[in-house]
Amino acid sequence: MGKKIVIALGANLPEQMKAVKITARAIVDLIEQGHEVVIAHGNGPQVGMIQNAMAELVRSDPVKYIPCPLSVCVAMSQGYIGYDLQNALREEMLDRGINKGVSTVLTQVEVDPDDPAFRHPTKPIGQFMTKEEADALVRERQYDVIEDAGRGYRRVVASPKPVGIVEIGTIKSLIETDHIVVACGGGGIPVFRTEGHHLKGAAAVIDKDFAAAKLAEQIDADLLIILTAVEKVAIHFGKPDQQELSDITPETARKYIADGEFAPGSMLPKVEAALEFVEGKQGRKALITLLEKAKDGIEGRTGTMIHS
């Protein structure tokens, strides 16, 4: 029987049109095997491009143009990337005689306004600035900024954990009607609840792997696949005694985390997101591997599988 699978695609898609064609082939391989597939993705370079373009407009005419909220930039990136992904998937499926709909869902992801991440913003976004430009943003808009590796100053925002997916009912309905769904792009548009039923955009970015894990949890997926730049997770990474991991339990993974084996901002959030999904319900599995190895990974031939 086919599995219900959530795939977390990487953020960096240089030469995007070429990249999505390769991505589509690998994903349709899984669809062809009878799996239900839902796709989440990053938006690293794209949301930065959008924000920089908007910032240049404001600089050119601060009277005519107003700053674009980060949540709106994330929404724009979801449409931009989703448009390319759904068309590439549709084309690849039709080429193979598979007649399924593909839909991109503009997805809001709820966060907790009391999440400690809001008190310690750490995620750099947007263009580099001079100290004078950074000081002006702090003064005029109360932005948090940091000096970034001697290259200039950048705005930093919070990266809170996802609490729930606002459009989860829509996503479930599309899955039930045999659609391939692209959702939670860029980790989702971060929002929190205010008075009544109002959702307010947050100046934050959500890690796409944690958003994918929350998505997989809420649709009750069988498998979460987190795609990365290596075929397998490793301990002692980059050292002579480097050891690649195939099958590991959550307990073993947590021991490696405690030992500092996984780099923050790189493999650590991927392993942590995989654990959140696997530990939520008996029988769930998470696979971390390369895009082109996803099919082999599901069949147990490669990748790192985390399961109880």
User: What's the pLDDT tens digit per position in 155-180?
Assistant: 889 999 999 999 999 999 999 999 99
- pTM summary value: 0.91
Work out whether the CA dihedral 184, 185, 186, 191 comes out positive or negative. negative
CA 32 from centroid of its chain's CA atoms: 24
3-state secondary structure of 128: strand
Return the pLDDT at 16: 53
Classify strands 199-201 and 247-248 as parallel, antiparallel or unpaired. unpaired
For 189, which DSSP code? E
Classify strands 247-248 and 243-244 as parallel, antiparallel or unpaired. unpaired
Pair of tokens at residue 90 = 């549709």
Distance CA 208, CA 228 (A): 12
pLDDT in tens, 264-282: 888 999 999 999 999 999 9
What share of the chain in percent tops pLDDT 90?
A: 69
- 106 pLDDT higher than 50: yes
- Band of the pLDDT at 143, cuts 50, 70, 90? confident
CA 256 from centroid of its chain's CA atoms: 23
Distance CA 264, CA 178 (A): 37
Return the pLDDT at 14: 45
3-state secondary structure of 121: coil
Return the pLDDT at 45: 73
Classify strands 4-9 and 223-227 as parallel, antiparallel or unpaired. parallel
pLDDT in tens, 108-129: 999 999 999 999 998 887 778 8
pLDDT in tens, 75-105: 999 998 999 999 999 999 999 999 999 999 9
Return the pLDDT at 12: 53
Classify strands 4-9 and 36-41 as parallel, antiparallel or unpaired. parallel
Distance CA 225, CA 94 (A): 24
Closest residue by Cα to residue 27 from 298, 300, 292: 292
Classify strands 285-289 and 223-227 as parallel, antiparallel or unpaired. parallel
Return the pLDDT at 17: 58
pLDDT in tens, 12-25: 554 555 678 888 99
Average pLDDT of the chain, as a whole number: 91
Closest residue by Cα to residue 7 from 45, 42, 40: 40
Arithmetic mean of pLDDT, 150-156: 85
**Cβ atoms of 165 and 171 closer than 8 Å:** yes
Neighbours of 197 (CB within 10 A): 6
Return the pLDDT at 140: 81
For 34, which DSSP code? T
H-assigned helices in the chain: 16-32, 44-60, 70-95, 131-141, 168-176, 208-218, 250-258, 267-278, 294-298
Distance CA 223, CA 217 (A): 10
- Kindly calculate the radius of gyration of the chain based on its CA atoms and give it in whole angstroms: 20
- 235 pLDDT higher than 90: yes
Distance CA 46, CA 70 (A): 12
Arithmetic mean of pLDDT, 32-39: 96
Pair of tokens at residue 9 = 């695609």
For 204, which DSSP code? B
